[in-house]
Chains A and B, each alone.
Chain A
Amino acid sequence: MTHNIYLYILVMAGVTYLIRMLPLALSKKEITNVYIRSFLYYVPYACLAAMTFPAILHATESICSAAVGLATAVIAAYRGKSLLTVALIACAAVFIAERILALI
């Protein structure tokens, strides 16, 4: 069975909108359950970390250049550079690493 791309998009957009809309529309009072608050607080970090590693290792032509990009991004992010800066520095590092690897 083949899936319809527009149905996929509808599901994506619908779920995402409902998550954003329901709390805004329904909540007139604050969530007080500490466990739920804590869970929601940790979710973005766990989620972004899980999506980044190990997927980043397969994002470029070779694992070596990807590892260079990863290390560079970690250092730049650790130094508090902005999102855009970290992204661009990581790209530049991959580009340079691949040029050097090509020479070896």
Chain B
Amino acid sequence: MKNNDYRNGLRDGTAVALGYFAVSFAFGMEASASGLNILQAGLISLTNVTSAGQFSGLAILSAGGTYLEMALTQLIINLRYCLMSFSLAQKLNRRTPHWHRYLMAYSVTDEIFALDAGLDHPLSPAYHYGITSAAVPGWVLGTLAGAVSGNLLPGFVMSALGVAIYGMFLAIIIPPAKQNRTLLLVVLSAMGLSFLFSALPVLNSVSSGFVIIITTVLTAGIAAWLKPVREGTAAADTNSEEDT
């Protein structure tokens, strides 16, 4: 039974691993362009397993930002995992031992959460570990490959791959925004606000980490105030993504 859950997780995680490889390849390249060595880049991916957080962390690290700025940025950008972990906690058997919870927390990512949440039965830790066993190696190996080849690849390839991560972000936010007017407004306002921060004289001296924090808190805060989400809507949305 446990073995079956693990194997199912491995199977579903393989698709995630392929996608991760491409994205973390871009991260590895960016990390090596920022002056990190291969092992440091791999260590970040192994210990963080989060695309948005790692990219913004890299920006702060190479700009020589403060540790506080780093901690706050990670807190705000990765705050969504808080909601996901809450949701997964509901899906686990109440009697699931604590050590499983500590271990599972390591790999709560957008994609792994989506698979976990898509199950129509209670979540077994073995399934989560199965996905993790496939996805995390994809993430770390992609980073190492990117960091190794980043300096070897010709400029035009690097330039084209530069948009990969943003393409992935757009693929995450646009389909739900198409269905939901409020999400569309949230997306457009956040883009507009961060554009103002890059274009206006005084605002453009704010570091990129804080721009993301300010923009996210303002936009999500105002949206939550004006358009609170009814009980269960958020969970229903994540479930529907997996209904194929």
Residues of A bordering B, CB below 8 Å: 2-3, 5-9, 11-13, 15-17, 19-25, 27-28, 30-31, 34-56, 59-61, 65-66, 69-70, 73-74, 76-78, 80-92, 94-95, 98
Do B190 and A90 touch (CB < 8 A)?
no
B119 interfacial contact with A, CB 8 Å: no
Residues of A within 8 A of B88 (CB): 24
| Interface window among B5-13, B129-137, B144-152, B170-178 | B170-178
Chain B: number of interface residues, binned into ranges = 35 or more
Residues of B within 8 A of A45 (CB): 173, 176-177, 183, 186-187, 190, 220
Residues of A within 8 A of B175 (CB): 77-78, 80
Residues of A within 8 A of B76 (CB): 43, 47
CA distance A40 to B105 in the complex (A): 18
Q: List 12 A-B contacts (CB under 8 A).
A: A3-B64, A8-B70, A12-B57, A15-B78, A19-B75, A20-B85, A36-B224, A39-B224, A49-B173, A52-B191, A53-B195, A55-B166
Do A98 and B159 touch (CB < 8 A)?
yes
Do A37 and B229 touch (CB < 8 A)?
yes
Do A24 and B85 touch (CB < 8 A)?
yes
Do A47 and B163 touch (CB < 8 A)?
no
Task: From A27, A44, A51, give the contact of B89 (CB < 8 A).
Answer: A27
* Contact code string B158-182 (vs A, CB < 8 Å = 1, else 0): 0111111111111111111110001
B121 interfacial contact with A, CB 8 Å: no
Closest Cβ of chain B to A47, distance in Å, is 4
Closest Cβ of chain A to B1, distance in Å, is 22
Please report the number of residue pairs spanning A and B whose Cβ atoms sit closer than 8 angstroms: 311
Do A41 and B83 touch (CB < 8 A)?
yes
Residues of B within 8 A of A17 (CB): 105-106
Do B53 and A59 touch (CB < 8 A)?
no
Closest Cβ of chain A to B127, distance in Å, is 15
Name the CB-closest residue of A to B214. A50
Residues of A within 8 A of B230 (CB): 34
B32 interfacial contact with A, CB 8 Å: no
Residues of A within 8 A of B219 (CB): 42, 46, 49-50
Residues of B within 8 A of A89 (CB): 167
CA distance A72 to B224 in the complex (A): 31
CB under 8 Å from chain A, chain B span 223-244 = 223-225, 227-231, 233-234
Task: From B83, B160, B170, B229, give the contact of A74 (CB < 8 A).
Answer: B170
